């Protein structure tokens, strides 16, 4: 209710002014803190020389990001460029064989990176789930898939299987876990789709073509088998009007995002500061809130860049891959919060929607979320911090439904009905602002540390109450209202587009 309701322009202008000022003020505090802490002993390991000609150091606390764009940059560019080149040649000469080219090139790249024994290990998991799919029992396929996933997440099997990798290098553990885990999810998707459509008779070759598509292999995103098979099986794919321009724009945005992150890390040490709790505790409340928020925004940017690069290659291959996740800035409900849209789609299709149905009943929704987050816990790797993260986000998702049901209860529904539509929107935005910070705090636990999350919660809710608490809540409320206005505008544009497409 109230999403299609417009607020006065002056009110929205005030919200924009407040939000911009608050972000600038918090950013200034973070910049000053980064300058003050650049030479601290605690920062030596993760703040290294950067732009020496202007005396700026760089935050290098994110191991994966640094490896992607330093020592492994040329390898990634070479591998993806080779894929694009061979895919283009195959599409021009023998388009009916392009899916085979994807599989052969991907398998050779995996073998060259991780060794032949690792490739054989994954082939063993593929064959096992393929055999299970022939039995036509979805519960068996899902159970075997989860068992295979557990074997890559728990000792002693994980230690034994990691020994199949040839050699040692910086990103070995990341590539091992990424390639293995995504392989299991892809094979499980293949098996479940085979059970759902026994008349289509998918072959082991179809599974191998699906699994060893190189752009998706190590880091995702994951496409469910039915979507991938339908798209890659097109003998003569045709590009939509303006598609090439969109691909160029996507590639350009990825490059701009990489450059923006590099510049940002020379001025704001948002990943290093939380590791020094003594220093972080000295930050003003506004800067501390901005630090917590920026940690989640960075994680989204990291995912957007990774999936943006991969999706650009996939689009060149005439695929329609899962889009990058929504930015945390525009999220104020748990139901839309995810950092990997591909895994989210996989979980929704095979677990969450299957159990929860229309997600309107409390008990089925509880069962669906518990099952979904149980599998997510296994995917992330069972440990105390993952257990806590899963519990908090599972609770948040269910709590939203409980609040929704409570709002539909007679007395409360009549109170809201007595309000104007604009006032109803304001009230809901207030609850959205509180939910926004619940999303930040619940995810900060896993993206940073429990100790830093406790520090932020204590400062914003206890020692900073009521001034800081109300100030942060009001700024967030302004942001939620601006997001709602954007949603309203997009909804109206979509309605106008559909009206134009209707026949006269």
Per-residue pLDDT of 28-66, as tens digits, reads 999 999 988 888 888 888 888 877 777 788 888 888 788
Q: 97: domain range?
A: 70-231
Distance, C-alpha 303 to centroid of its chain: 6
What number is the average pLDDT over the span 141-167?
88
- What lies within 8 Å, CB to CB, of 291 at 6+ separation is 30, 270, 273, 274, 280, 283, 456
- Give the domain-ending residue among 197, 231, 265: 231
What number is the average pLDDT over the span 65-77?
79
Same domain flag for 115 and 37? no
Tell me the C-alpha distance between 56 and 404, whole Å. 49
- Give the domain-ending residue among 202, 231, 260: 231
Tell me the C-alpha distance between 48 and 60, whole Å. 7
Same domain flag for 404 and 465? yes
Asked whether residue 238 is assigned to any structural domain, the reply reads no
Same domain flag for 203 and 330? no
Q: Judging by beta carbons within 10 Å of its beta carbon (0-12, 13-18, 19+), is residue 317 exposed, middle or buried?
A: buried
> pLDDT tens across 247-302, in order?
899 889 989 998 999 889 989 999 999 999 999 999 999 999 999 999 999 988 88
Same domain flag for 442 and 296? yes
* C-alpha dihedral sign at 111, 133, 95, 307: negative
Q: In terms of pTM, does the model score above 0.85?
A: yes
Helix (H) or strand (E) holding 258: helix 243-264
Same domain flag for 196 and 97? yes
Residue 458 DSSP code:
I
pLDDT of 1 over the 50 cut: no
Asked whether residue 57 is assigned to any structural domain, the reply reads no
pLDDT of 72 over the 80 cut: no
% of the chain surpassing 70 pLDDT: 97
Asked whether residue 240 is assigned to any structural domain, the reply reads no
> pLDDT tens across 82-120, in order?
998 988 888 888 888 888 999 999 999 999 888 899 999
Same domain flag for 274 and 187? no
Same domain flag for 438 and 327? yes
Same domain flag for 472 and 349? yes
% of the chain surpassing 90 pLDDT: 46
- Give the domain-ending residue among 231, 262, 291: 231
Q: What are the contacts of 441-447 at 24+ separation with CB within 8 A? A: 441/292, 442/389, 442/392, 442/393, 442/396, 443/296, 443/337, 443/389, 443/393, 444/292, 444/295, 444/296, 445/385, 445/388, 445/389, 445/392, 446/380, 446/385, 446/386, 446/389, 447/295, 447/296, 447/299
> pLDDT tens across 345-387, in order?
999 999 998 898 887 888 989 999 999 999 999 999 889 999 9
Asked whether residue 173 is assigned to any structural domain, the reply reads yes
Asked whether residue 60 is assigned to any structural domain, the reply reads no
What number is the average pLDDT over the span 379-405?
91
Same domain flag for 286 and 168? no
> pLDDT tens across 167-199, in order?
776 677 888 888 899 999 999 999 999 999 988
pLDDT of 126 = 94
> pLDDT tens across 12-29, in order?
999 999 999 999 999 999
Number of folded domains in the chain?
2
Model confidence at 464, pLDDT cuts 50, 70, 90, reads: confident
Asked whether residue 64 is assigned to any structural domain, the reply reads no
Same domain flag for 444 and 414? yes
Same domain flag for 227 and 198? yes
Same domain flag for 311 and 406? yes
Contact 455, 280 (CB under 8 A): yes
Give the phi and the psi of residue 345 in degrees, each rounded to 5: -65, -40
Tell me the C-alpha distance between 136 and 140, whole Å. 8
Asked whether residue 504 is assigned to any structural domain, the reply reads no
Contact 432, 332 (CB under 8 A): yes
pLDDT of 501 = 66
> pLDDT tens across 202-244, in order?
999 999 999 999 999 988 789 999 999 989 888 777 778 888 8
Give the phi and the psi of residue 364 in degrees, each rounded to 5: -60, -35
Asked whether residue 325 is assigned to any structural domain, the reply reads yes
pLDDT of 370 = 94
């Amino acid at each position: 209710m109230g999403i299609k309701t417009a607020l006065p322009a002056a009110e929205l202008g005030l919200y924009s002014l407040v939000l911009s000022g608050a972000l600038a003020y918090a950013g200034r505090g973070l910049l000053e803190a980064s300058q003050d802490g650049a030479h601290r002993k605690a920062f030596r390991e993760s703040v290294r020389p950067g732009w020496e000609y202007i005396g700026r150091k760089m935050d290098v606390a994110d191991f994966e990001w640094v490896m992607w764009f330093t020592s492994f940059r040329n390898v990634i560019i070479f591998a993806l460029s080779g894929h694009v080149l061979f895919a283009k040649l195959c599409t021009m000469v023998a388009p009916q064989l392009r899916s085979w080219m994807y599989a052969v090139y991907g398998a050779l790249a995996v073998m060259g990176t991780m060794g032949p024994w690792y490739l054989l290990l994954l082939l063993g998991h593929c064959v096992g789930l393929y055999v299970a799919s022939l039995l036509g029992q979805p519960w068996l396929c899902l159970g075997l898939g989860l068992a295979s996933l557990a074997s890559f997440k728990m000792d002693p099997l994980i230690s034994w299987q990691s020994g199949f990798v040839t050699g040692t290098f910086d990103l070995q553990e990341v590539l091992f876990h990424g390639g293995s885990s995504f392989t299991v999810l892809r094979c499980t998707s293949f098996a479940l789709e085979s059970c759902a459509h026994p008349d289509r008779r998918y072959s082991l070759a179809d599974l191998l073509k699906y699994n060893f598509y190189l752009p998706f292999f190590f880091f995702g995103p994951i496409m469910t088998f039915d979507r991938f098979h339908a798209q890659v099986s097109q003998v003569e794919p045709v590009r939509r009007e303006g598609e090439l321009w969109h691909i160029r724009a996507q590639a350009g945005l990825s490059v701009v995002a990489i450059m923006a992150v590099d510049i940002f890390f020379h001025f704001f040490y948002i990943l290093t500061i939380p590791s020094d709790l003594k220093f972080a505790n000295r930050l003003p409340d506004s800067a501390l809130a901005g630090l917590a928020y920026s940690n989640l925004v960075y994680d989204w940017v990291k995912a957007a860049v990774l999936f943006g690069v991969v999706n650009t290659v996939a689009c060149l291959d005439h695929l329609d891959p899962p889009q990058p996740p929504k930015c945390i800035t525009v999220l104020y409900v748990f139901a839309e919060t995810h950092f990997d849209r591909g895994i989210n789609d996989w979980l929704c299709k095979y677990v969450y929607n299957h159990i929860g149905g229309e997600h309107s009943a409390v008990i089925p929704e509880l069962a669906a979320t518990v099952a979904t987050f149980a599998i997510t816990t296994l995917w992330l790797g069972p440990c105390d911090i993952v257990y806590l993260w899963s519990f908090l986000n599972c609770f948040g998702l269910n709590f939203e439904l409980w609040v929704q049901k409570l709002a539909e209860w007679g007395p409360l529904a009549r109170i809201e009905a007595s309000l104007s539509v604009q006032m109803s929107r304001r009230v809901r935005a207030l609850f959205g602002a509180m939910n926004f910070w619940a999303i930040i705090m619940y995810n900060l636990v896993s993206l940073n540390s429990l100790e830093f999350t406790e520090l932020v919660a204590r400062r914003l809710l206890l020692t900073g109450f009521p001034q800081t608490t109300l100030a942060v809540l009001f700024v967030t409320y302004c942001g939620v209202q601006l997001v709602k206005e954007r949603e309203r505008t997009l909804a109206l544009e979509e309605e106008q587009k559909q009206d134009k497409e209707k026949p006269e």
